[in-house]
Amino acid sequence: MCRWLAYSGTPLLLDTILYKPAHSLIDQSLHSRLGVETTNGDGFGVGWYPQESIDTPALLRDVGPAWNNRNLREIADHVRSPLFFAHIRASTGTAVQQSNCHPFRYGRWMWMHNGGITDFHLVRRDLTLQVDPELYSAIEGTTDSETMFYLALTLGLEQDPPGAVARMVGLVERSGREHGIEFPLQMTIAVTDGERLWAFRYSTQGTSRSLFYSTRVDTLRKLHPDVAFLREVSDETHLIVSEPLGDLPGAWNEVPESSYGVVHAGADELCPFTPEPV
């Protein structure tokens, strides 16, 4: 499987969230505590929205491990953004190639995933044929994750992200069961349009991969007034992560099973998630 983080809030250098935490995503690429695999070295990717514009996010993706990539280390000290996605990959069977590294991008949208479609090779053709023909040519790789993204786009992601993801999951589960697959899907997903951020935790079996969200900054300031980072960021700052980036007491909360969260200016929501039949 994989590990990922999504950051939204006060513009900061990528280094602040990618390298500096005690159990950073770079550390997790070698020493994951909660993932299926300890090592996640089958490629990485980061995506961000330049402060000047949010029309199209920038991407850096590579097939090597994140822990020794000089280009990633170089940009981390120079790229500042209010919204970052970062992902380290452990392949579930598809090729280790750049086009299979997350995040995936379409227009202003970014998407990343941890988990998998069970026996994807059995359902891949059926699912791919459900992608809108006008979107199909934009698919670059061979992963189940990218297929899920384009199915969600086909099913209305740009208008209704939670509904589109629910319909995508319903379609994947229906296809899987038609092929005799008992538990077709395992997923934690992050998706953003550059202004809002959605994160989903769900699996057919009801035992989903780990996912956590950060406690409100104003609450953490009261708990830990000596932590400089908390004084430097706004109350609108949030992190969603596959596993906690450190052991600061009270900082991390598990996303409930079969739920999704929305992060946007002024208010955040945590809602139940249920697949929709298609």
Rounded Cα gap, residues 264 and 9, in angstroms: 9
Please report, as a single letter, which amino acid is at residue 43. G
pLDDT on residue 1? 67
pLDDT on residue 54? 67
Rounded Cα gap, residues 111 and 117, in angstroms: 16
Helix locations, the chain, DSSP H:
14-18, 25-31, 70-76, 120-128, 133-136, 144-154, 161-178, 217-223, 228-232
**The pTM is what?**
0.96
Rounded Cα gap, residues 250 and 232, in angstroms: 19
pLDDT on residue 65? 94
pLDDT on residue 253? 97
Length of the chain: 278
pLDDT on residue 266? 79
Rounded Cα gap, residues 191 and 15, in angstroms: 22
Which one is catalytic: 1, 2, 110, 165? 2
Those residues whose C-beta lies under 8 Å from the C-beta of residue 4, and which sit 6 or more positions away, are: 25, 85, 86, 87, 88, 102, 112, 114, 188, 190, 241, 242
- Which one, of 215, 202, 214, lies nearest residue 257 by Cα? 202
31-40, 99-108, 215-224 — which is least confidently predicted? 31-40
pLDDT on residue 38? 86
Q: Say whether 2 is catalytic.
A: yes
Query: Model confidence over 154-198: pLDDT tens digits?
Result: 999 999 999 999 999 999 999 999 999 999 999 999 999 999 999
Rounded Cα gap, residues 72 and 89, in angstroms: 15
Per the listing, tokens 């996640």 go with: 40
Query: Model confidence over 102-151: pLDDT tens digits?
Result: 999 999 999 999 999 999 999 999 999 999 999 999 999 999 999 999 99
Share of the chain above pLDDT 90, in %: 90
Beta 3-13 vs 238-241: how paired, if at all?
A: antiparallel
Rounded Cα gap, residues 204 and 258, in angstroms: 9
